[in-house]
Chain A
Amino acid sequence: MILTIDPDDRTAPYEQLRQQLITAISSGELAPGTKLPTVRRLAADLGIAPNTVARTYLELDREGLIETRGRQGSFVARREQAQQPDEARRAADAYAQLIRRLNLDDTTALGLIRSALGGS
């Protein structure tokens, strides 16, 4: 997968990188166990500060999307059962924001969830 940093984009390079890695990991483009480039290597390739890449890796490690194994480097994490509640919580937050934007009430929102769960 190709990562892109656009200096003309209003989004900070850290956020651009973080979003692209999250998308790649979530979609399976970066399979579990895949070794990510080293901080220095990725920083040199993208023309950004090593601290920016290090911060991105640290955030993704905290979110459980990657694992940093010391000198061995950083790898895409294997998705354990324990991480699913975090994903569900994030999906719920995004859904709640969408409901507020559409000005729907809580009853309607919950009804939609129940019918979706009942249908699957």
Chain B
Amino acid sequence: MTRFTWTMYIVLAVGLAAGTVVTITRWFRRRILADYARRFDLEVPEELESRLRRRAGAPFTATCLGGLVGLTAGAVISALVIPPPDYSRQVPPVDPSTAVMIVTALSGGVIFQVVTAVALALHRPTGRRVARSTTPRLSDYVSGVERSAGWIVVCAAVILLVSIAVAERSGALHNPVIEEESVFGSMGAFFAYVSIGGLIVGSLLSRVVLHGPQPAGSSTELAWDDALRAQTLRGLVGLPLTWGIYSLLQSFAEIMIGSTWHPRALAYLFVVMALAACAATVGYLYSTRRSVSDRYFRRRLWSTEKLAAR
């Protein structure tokens, strides 16, 4: 591994370890629960408070711990198996060690988070039990905008990569830097692969979460289960979106760096792309703003049921 990779590992490992410790504290979990209660507009019954605190806070701990475990596993694999990158080339390729650590850290965080969320949901209350007479679907927890945004962005990233490769082959790219290396080995391509993996893994893990039972002793407890499920599912759906955006930005940057196009045309193109990206981001953030997306599950699943609200 290179010095940069080791430094990155140490910084991330310290951050994730600190995150694990902080998220275990009662103070943190109380704050998270209070924040959730306000955002989801749900009361916290006294008899459920300690269990809800654990269910609200544990996924954060699991994400940090899982990320740390994955990161360390990635570092071990990189140190033992992966050769250092070849920096004699004009454009350094993606450092495989960095790529492996990013992927293993992400994977570890997501897997630990989902396993924790599912395990904590398996509590068996005694006494009275309630259940829904229908089985909720992903569309009851995550809005259509959020569900489709990830797919759209990932497809756009893949289409952009293929377009760059075709343009490079036909000589239309005017970028001698890109012609030196394979488009599909670039950093933009790496982020696109991670986002595709995120789509696939996210879909599989979403099914695991959705098919899990929802044992509850009251409507309020069932609503809390729905709220925490919605958080987990929205996180799974949002992950490929984030990496797809990184891929698009990285690929555009790689096109522009070293390009021999007319500078004014390039500048105009950059401004148009930036404005389009801003408009798309503002539109997405507005349609998924917290007040709307946090209570989306309530509108879908609890609009006709009486529920104790704050």
Contacts and interface: CB of A to CB of B under 8 A. Distances in A.
A30 B124 CA distance: 27
Contacts of A7: 127-128
A44 B222 CA distance: 13
A2 B132 contact: yes
A97 to B, nearest CB: 28
A42 B131 contact: yes
Interface stretch (A31-39, A85-93, A110-118): A31-39
Interface stretch (B109-117, B149-157, B213-221): B213-221
Contacts of A47: 124-125, 129, 215
Contacts of A46: 129-131
B90 interface: no
A38 B214 CA distance: 13
Nearest to B307: A2
B135 interface: yes
A69 B259 CA distance: 61
B7 interface: no
Contacts of B129: 4-5, 45-48
Contact of B215 (A34, A35, A38, A44): A44
Contacts of B132: 1-3, 37, 45
A7 B133 CA distance: 19
A45 B133 contact: no
B212 to A, nearest CB: 9
Given A45-B129, A46-B131, A47-B129, A2 B222 contact: yes
A45 B134 contact: no
Contacts of B213: 41, 44-45
B305 interface: yes
Contacts of B305: 1-2
A78 B216 CA distance: 30
B127 A36 contact: no
- Interface of B: prevailing SS: loop
Contacts of B131: 2-3, 5, 37, 42, 45-46
A2 B302 CA distance: 10
Contact of B133 (A5, A24, A38, A48): A24
Contacts of A5: 128-131
A65 interface: no
A20 B131 CA distance: 12
A4 B128 CA distance: 7
Contact of A35 (B127, B135, B211, B219): B135
A35 B133 CA distance: 9
Contacts of A48: 129
A85 B108 CA distance: 60
Given A4-B130, A7-B128, A47-B124, A41 B135 contact: yes
Interface string B204-216: 0000000101111
26 contacts: A1-B132, A2-B130, A2-B133, A2-B222, A2-B305, A4-B128, A4-B129, A5-B129, A5-B130, A21-B133, A24-B133, A29-B133, A30-B133, A34-B133, A34-B134, A35-B134, A35-B135, A37-B134, A41-B213, A42-B131, A44-B213, A45-B215, A46-B130, A47-B124, A47-B125, A48-B129
Interface of B: 124-125, 127-135, 211, 213-216, 219, 222, 305
Given A5-B129, A30-B134, 11 more contacts: A2-B305, A3-B130, A3-B133, A4-B130, A5-B131, A7-B127, A8-B127, A37-B133, A45-B213, A46-B130, A47-B125
